[in-house]
Structure 1
Amino acid sequence: MERNNLYPIFLKSKNLKVLIVGGGFVAEEKLRFLLKSSPDANVTMVAPFFREDTISIAEKGDVTRIEDHYKPHYLEGKHVVVATTDSPEVNIEIYNDCRAQSKLVNVADNPPYCDFYMGGIVTKGNVKIAISTNGKSPTTAKRLRQFFEEVIPENIDDLVINLNHYRKTIKGTFEEKVEQLNQFTKTLIS
């Protein structure tokens, strides 16, 4: 059986500079989900045109739009790049330029040209769950996201906040603290 070997991380996208190349439906989808998960993300978009809905979404966040075709200098100072153009050749050029500069890159709908995937995300207050299908089935990730949005209670954040307060009151070594928290929370899954 094939295994998902991706390593999940949660990026502080406010501290990073994200570039989305493209202004069509796919760019709009990537921007929408990025800002839904990280409304304070610092994003630049480069495209010869932007859909009206994309402009509307961009205006709600910290998004700079540049009307132009991709040029390598747009990578300067960027940490994460998402290529969404309708030209496979341009997307691969972006990928190669990013790899040459050690920048993380995602070429939409082209897994061999991705350092990362933008999976399904469920957010309930401080709780965030990322879902990956190893780039094989975004639809499955979407359905799992919908499932978890339904089954995770809205008040889960109260538990997180209360456990954070409780954690600060526990005395002892790291191992003793972990054991106390494990004992305290084991009823959550039984």
Structure 2
Amino acid sequence: MAESFPEVQGGGSLILAWQVKNKKVLVVGGGEVAAGRILNLLNADASVTVISPTSGLNPEVAHRVQNNQVTHLDKKFEPSDLDDPDITMVLTAIDDPEASSQIWKLCKEKRLPANIADVPPECDFYFGSVHRDGPLQIMVSTNGNGPKMANIVRRRIASNLPPNMGDAIKKVGKLRKKLREVAPQPEEGPKRMQWMSKVCVQWSLEDLCDMSEEDMEMLLQSYAPDQVPSLVDVRGPWEFDGSFGWACVV
């Protein structure tokens, strides 16, 4: 019998969560588009350097500069600006197609990943439309075909999410950390993952949001026998006997 595998759908891009914390990123330009790029980078804890004459800074970028959220070089871009070995990526957002293409070529020579605003063929990566709720990030990409459509789709998805999804994810993150303290051994990895999966499936979003530190401690007692009691059972007048389940305390 022939096995069934997913169909290959070419023409897409590899969507990744790029970790740029404390990494140096160069932004050329200081207008509205640059402001959005800069905010995305700061949200990811990147170390941002902006190259733009002060006269070209829009109010938001000027605010970032004044509050020392970014490093500002008050000048126009020069090829030597790419000589810094600490630069990990380059973003351009300037109204000069010829200069942008030149920066792209220089980045290719130095093997620096770059994004040239509004020029998809000259981009190693794209910026999608992102929904953010605490630790939750959802990105919608049209692979450069329609940024406005990405925004519309992202809003549609966000409107169907519970408003407290981010809080639930934070609670799950705390529970995972506590579970690693309870069962730190590497060989426990598969069981930890399966047990956490069962918690996320069997508990409602409201339960996860309402889960307290005390609830976590009680719930973790059910890890060893590989059980997942409900939040009602965790909070009820029950006592875990360590063998086959929960017993009522009388």
Conserved 8 A contact 1:133-1:141: yes
Cα distance in structure 2, aligned partners of 1:61 and 1:116 = 27
Q: Which has the higher contact order (CA 8 A, sep 6+)?
A: 1
Cα distance in structure 2, aligned partners of 1:70 and 1:26 = 17
Conserved 8 A contact 1:41-1:62: no
Partner of 2:196: 181
| CA offset digits 1:27-74 (Å, max 9, x no partner) | 233224433x33x43111112332341312443462122222211121
Conserved 8 A contact 1:32-1:57: no
Conserved 8 A contact 1:19-1:78: yes
Cα distance in structure 2, aligned partners of 1:50 and 1:120 = 25
Instruction: State yes or no: 1:131 paired with 2:146.
Output: no
**SS of structure 1 residue aligned to 2:25:** strand
Match for residue 56 of structure 2 among 50, 63, 86: 50
TM-score by length of 2: 0.65
Conserved 8 A contact 2:32-2:58: no
Q: CA deviation at 1:111?
A: 0.7
Partner of 1:163: 172
| CA offset digits 1:113-151 (Å, max 9, x no partner) | 000111111111111122211111111221233234433
Structure 2 matches for 1:112-123, cutoff 5 A?
112-123=121-132
Instruction: State yes or no: 1:103 paired with 2:103.
Output: no
Structure 2, unaligned runs of 5 or more: 1-7, 206-250
Cα distance in structure 2, aligned partners of 1:43 and 1:124 = 23
TM-score by length of 1: 0.83
Q: Pairwise CA RMSD of aligned residues?
A: 2.6
Partner of 1:145: 154
Cα distance in structure 2, aligned partners of 1:161 and 1:28 = 28
Match of 1:43, as an amino acid? V
Q: Report the more deviating stretch, 91-100 or 62-71.
A: 62-71
Match for residue 34 of structure 1 among 30, 38, 41: 41
**SS of structure 1 residue aligned to 2:87:** coil
Match of 1:15, as an amino acid? N
Cα distance in structure 1, aligned partners of 2:162 and 2:67 = 28
Cα distance in structure 2, aligned partners of 1:52 and 1:165 = 40
| 1:126–1:61 Cα change, 3 Å | farther
Match for residue 84 of structure 1 among 90, 93, 96: 93
| 1:23–1:162 Cα change, 3 Å | closer
**SS of structure 2 residue aligned to 1:15:** coil
Q: Which has the larger radius of gyration?
A: 2
Instruction: State yes or no: 1:71 paired with 2:78.
Output: yes
Structure 2 matches for 1:6-45, cutoff 5 A?
6-35=13-42, 37-38=43-44, 40-45=45-50
Q: CA deviation at 1:6?
A: 1.9
| 1:59–1:41 Cα change, 3 Å | farther
